[in-house]
Amino acid sequence: MSALTPVEVVEAVTDAGAHKGTMRVDKIFLSGVSAGCLLAFACGTTLSTNTAPSLQQSAPGLIRTIGALVFPYGLCMIILTGADLCTGSFMFTTVAVLQRRLSWYRMLFHWLLTFLGNLAGSLLVVSLIFGYGEVFSTEPYKSEVIAFATKKQVVPNFGMVVLRGIGCNWLVVGIWWPTFAFVSLGFDHVVANMTFIPMAIFLGAPKLTVSLYIWKGIVPAFLGNVVGGGVFCGMYYFYMYSPDAMAFLPHHHRVTETKRSSTDADAGVNPSST
């Protein structure tokens, strides 16, 4: 079974980021809509799985872990269909910019369009499928949706949501198990919140409002996801494995690194193993 080396992965991510960032405007937006819809279905499954009143009282960690196990199917559908989450764009387009394959303007524009597409797709499923379809309108599902959203929005402060957002997108750029990890830890994903919180608002959650959702569900989660995906993943792996990262070092550091690489090569040492 063949696998890409870390250097090859960075190149593949660069190619993908450059391609995503230069797509037509309508395709970027519709790709975002599709991803928002698909992730909304996974969020709905998680809410349904979490609806276990006895376990919520006796073993809340266990039921959250079980719910986290089913959530990643949404990300798998997104990857298989080539749709785009803004959270994925934070890593892909950042690496493409650092590799000088994409402009900063195109990166930020892609972030904005995918975000708006994700929001539109999520709200479409929340309103038409879950809402008017009354998927969660009966008990005990209604109470669980409201309780879940309240814990995410009312309980933590702004800074806590930012930090949870960092942890989330540090992990979510993986596939099944890393995504399972962020859900099981209760981290905040800005696109998942586009389903969790509006669904509770639709059902009449007493402590939730649209303004609170924007301030506590979108802004801090977005900022944290940008740092987690763009810095802790995109910039880190670019610096570690891209030959072009040398251009960002001061001159005396570049000389030192070049000498070290030459010495390692002469000694037959694989730099990635040291």
268's CB contacts (< 8 A; 6+ apart) are: none
Checking 177-184 for CB contacts under 8 A at 24+ apart, the result is 177/72, 179/71, 179/72, 179/75, 180/68, 180/69, 180/71, 180/72, 181/68, 183/46, 183/64, 183/67, 183/68, 183/71, 183/72, 184/64, 184/65, 184/68
DSSP-derived 3-state class of residue 100? coil
Let me know the angle formed at the C-alpha of 197 by 126 and 109, rounded to the nearest 5 degrees. Answer: 80
Locus of tokens 């806590």: 160
Q: Which of 231, 248, 216, 229 is nearest to 100 (CA)?
A: 248
pLDDT attached to residue 263:
39
Q: What is the pLDDT of residues 15-62, one digit of tens each?
A: 999 999 999 999 999 999 999 999 999 999 999 999 998 898 899 999
pLDDT attached to residue 175:
67
Q: Residue 178 pLDDT > 90, yes or no?
A: no
Q: Between these two residues, 67 and 253, which has the higher pLDDT value?
A: 67
pTM exceeding the 0.85 threshold for the entire prediction: yes
In the chain, % of residues over pLDDT 90 = 75
What is 214-253 written as a DSSP string? Answer: IIIIIHHHHHHHHIIIIIIIIIHHHHHH-GGGGGGS-HHH
Q: What is the pLDDT of residues 82-133, one digit of tens each?
A: 999 999 999 999 999 999 999 999 999 999 999 999 999 999 999 999 999 9
181's CB contacts (< 8 A; 6+ apart) are: 68, 171
Q: Residue 272 pLDDT > 50, yes or no?
A: no
Q: What is the pLDDT of residues 199-232, one digit of tens each?
A: 999 999 999 999 999 999 999 999 999 999 999 9
CB 92 within 8 A of CB 20: yes
Mark out the alpha helices in the chain (DSSP H runs).
6-21, 25-50, 53-58, 60-70, 73-81, 86-98, 104-124, 141-153, 158-172, 176-184, 193-202, 210-212, 219-226, 236-241, 251-266
